[in-house]
Amino acid sequence: MATFKTYSKETKGDPQSFIYDTLDSKVKNQINFIWKDFFEHKKFPLEISELTISQIFNIACREFGLDNLYSNGLFCPDEKNQLEKFIQENTDIEILLDIIHIIFTKIEFVDDWLKHNYFIDLYYTSKEAKNDLNTRFRENGIGYIFENSKILRVDNQFLHEETVSSTFNLINNVDYQNANEEYLKAHEHFKQKRNIECLNECLKAFETTMKIICYKNSWNYDKERDTSSTLINHLISNNFFKAYHESYLNSFKQILSANIPTIRNKNSGHGQGVEKKIIPDSLAKYMLYSTGAIINLIVETQNEYENLTLPLK
């Protein structure tokens, strides 16, 4: 169900710093309320609810190498209660994030499945459940977000909402599937502190987005050989970006051609040599937000042209 804007929330606002290594009992109980509300509301077919919870239970047992998720020493409660108790009493942040990921991925799947097979529009949808989860994360200062069926680390809420979330919303369709997958991989690498791999996936997502634009507009390009600089030139030479100010266009081209590709090429595109290269988290984080912002600009510009149904010349 929707979260409530209490007096304390209005007066205090959201926390200004994030927690990454623990979930307290408050937020764990709030998360339990969300998934139970989803599976227990009256429009949800009981047999599908029980089957899905059983699937979540079995996946969790296998992934964590357990016979049961909870036991009080005398007996094991039913699977739903075990799942609830498991979340309440676990203190390992990785396991907690794993079980949350399993639950909410299944929630997204079963919502879509019901719409297509039972023609049921749920009273409490997977999108609402996801939004409530992210709201609880944000309200409690938890530095994670469930986005595009992944749990992602958040370092700045405003930047994340304006760039990362917006980027996933724009490229989460079949036309931009490859770019979407590469941008997701960049986030996964960053979460695991594989920063060199993160830079490479950022560049791939950037280049793939430009190739998709070239394809959608029937421009001549070499999908195997064209570098990022060449692809940028295709966008500019085909008037993809309007040159309201010549200086702005030149600056924009410099940002595209020098900023993202250069960071990647200088730091991760060549052999490491004698010394092992270390890419700081700050640089990888900058790349994620920069890539998201520029992909946003490219895709939104393409959407504007398509909505106007005017050919690019």
Please report which residue ranges of 41-117 form alpha helices under DSSP H: 46-64, 79-89, 93-117
Domain termination site, one of 154, 179, 206:
154
Lowest mean pLDDT among 45-49, 112-116, 165-169, 259-263: 259-263
For the chain, how many structural domains are there in total?
Answer: 2
Same domain flag for 174 and 139: no
Per-residue pLDDT band for 189 (boundaries 50, 70, 90) equals confident
The structure tokens listed for 308 are 């106007």
Same domain flag for 23 and 84: yes
In angstroms, what is the C-alpha Rg of the chain?
23
Same domain flag for 284 and 185: yes
Selected residue with higher pLDDT from 21 and 188: 21
Look at residue 1 and tell me if it is in a domain: no
277-298 per-position pLDDT tens digit:
677 887 788 778 888 888 888 8
CATH of the domain at 191: 1.20.120
Same domain flag for 249 and 304: yes
Same domain flag for 120 and 189: no
Report whether pLDDT(162) > 60.
no
**The model scores a pTM over 0.75:** no
Same domain flag for 28 and 146: yes
Q: Kindly provide the b/e burial profile for residues 3-30, where b requires at least 16 CB atoms within 10 angstroms of the residue's own CB.
A: eeeeeeeeeeeeeeebbeeebeeebbeb
**Domain of 193, in residue numbers:** 170-308
Q: Which amino acid is at 67?
A: D
Mean confidence (pLDDT) of the chain: 81
Per-residue pLDDT band for 128 (boundaries 50, 70, 90) equals very high
Same domain flag for 14 and 146: yes
Report whether pLDDT(257) > 50.
no
Domain termination site, one of 154, 188, 204:
154
Look at residue 106 and tell me if it is in a domain: yes
Look at residue 161 and tell me if it is in a domain: no
Average pLDDT over residues 99-107: 96
* Selection from 103, 99, 86, 88 nearest residue 36 by Cα: 103
Look at residue 301 and tell me if it is in a domain: yes
Percent residues over pLDDT 90 in the chain: 32
Same domain flag for 188 and 73: no
